[in-house]
């Protein structure tokens, strides 16, 4: 009896996860084929899942995630789930680089650091979480500019150091270069002696939902910019797959 009960739970979970991970509504036939379940079992399970509001049907009879999922989403800050899911990736980047690692999200026209892994070096960087940093002179901020998540500033750009890109046309060119290579870079633009590299993290529809970056002393990072950019891009791809509910490809860095 216990085995039968466990099997029922496994089958129900398989149906729910298949619907939730799908990019669009699934028909009864699609679900039965994808889950490789008997027709009678599929019908019985779907009826129970509808009853419990884990799944619901559209006007044409296809299945989508139920109201319980939207209730959960409405009551929880999605940023909290992002931080929880990203934590192992941030820790791994910190182990690999030894540098300060940050996760950031866009909130309106601002970019906010929501999680940080501190540098292992004595000479590291400050705690940037919840600090309002100008987007145009932060590698994390530039991700949201380069990938058109945050609109370019319409006011004169603040010059924080001699290296800050304060000309709007020059900033657009810098963002275009960043998008072509896949990562953004700042060298002494926010603070003299501070360098950062950052990459976008994509969501379920290919949209940029976050940025991951490392920062540290320019003397330690300036010769490693491309290496760090490629490594961060690999880690961001893994996190993107995780956010999409998939297992990262075997062998990914």
Same domain, 186 and 122: yes
> Mean per-residue pLDDT for 183-205?
93
Residues forming beta bridges with residue 187, ordered by sequence position:
195
pLDDT at residue 157 tops 80: yes
Residue 72: both structure tokens together: 């959960």
CA distance 165 to 35: 53
CA distance 117 to 93: 9
**Looking at the domain assignment, is residue 177 inside a domain?**
yes
pLDDT at residue 138 tops 80: yes
Model pLDDT, residue 109: 77
pLDDT at residue 252 tops 50: no
Q: Give Rg (Cα) of the chain.
A: 22
Same domain, 117 and 10: no
pLDDT at residue 249 tops 70: no
Model pLDDT, residue 250: 39
163 compared with 134, residue with greater pLDDT = 163
Domain around 198 = 78-243
Same domain, 133 and 219: yes
Please report which confidence band the pLDDT of residue 101 belongs to, taking 50, 70 and 90 as the band edges: very high
For 191-201, write each residue's pLDDT tens digit: 999 999 999 99
* Last residue within a domain, chosen from 12, 45, 74: 74
Same domain, 234 and 146: yes
Same domain, 65 and 117: no
Same domain, 107 and 228: yes
CATH number at residue 7: 1.10.10.10
For 4-22, write each residue's pLDDT tens digit: 678 889 999 999 999 988 8
Same domain, 98 and 153: yes
Number of domains in the chain: 2
b/e string for 133-150 if b means 16 or more Cβ within 10 A?
bbbbbbbbbbbbbbbebb
DSSP string, 99-159: SEEEEEEEETTEEEEEEEE--SSSS-----TT----GGGSHHHHHHHHTTSSPPPSSPPP-
User: At CA 219, angle to CA 213 and CA 224, rounded to 5?
Assistant: 50
Asked whether 135 and 150 are in contact (CB, 8 A), the reply is: yes
């Amino acid at each position: 009896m216990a085995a039968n009960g466990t099997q029922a739970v496994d089958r129900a979970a398989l149906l729910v996860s298949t619907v939730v991970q799908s990019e669009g509504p699934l028909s009864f036939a699609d679900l039965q084929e994808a889950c490789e379940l008997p027709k009678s079992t599929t019908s019985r399970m779907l009826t129970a899942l509808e009853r419990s509001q884990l799944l619901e049907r559209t006007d044409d009879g296809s299945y989508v995630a139920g109201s319980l999922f939207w209730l959960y989403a409405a009551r929880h800050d999605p940023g909290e789930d992002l931080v929880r899911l990203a934590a192992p990736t941030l820790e791994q980047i910190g182990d690999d680089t030894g540098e300060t690692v940050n996760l950031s999200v866009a909130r309106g026209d601002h970019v906010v650091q929501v999680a940080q892994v501190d540098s292992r070096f004595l000479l590291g960087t400050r705690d940037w979480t919840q600090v309002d940093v100008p987007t145009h002179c932060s590698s994390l901020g530039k991700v949201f500019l380069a990938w058109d998540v945050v609109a370019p500033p319409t006011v004169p750009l603040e010059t924080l150091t001699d290296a800050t890109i304060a000309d709007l046309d020059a900033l657009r060119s810098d963002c275009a270069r960043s998008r072509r290579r896949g990562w953004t870079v700042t060298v002494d633009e926010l603070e003299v002696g501070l360098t950062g590299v950052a990459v976008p993290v994509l969501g379920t529809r290919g949209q940029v939902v976050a940025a991951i970056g490392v920062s540290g002393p320019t003397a330690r990072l300036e010769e490693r910019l491309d290496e760090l950019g490629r490594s961060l891009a690999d880690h961001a791809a893994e996190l993107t797959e995780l956010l999409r509910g998939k297992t990262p490809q075997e062998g990914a860095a």
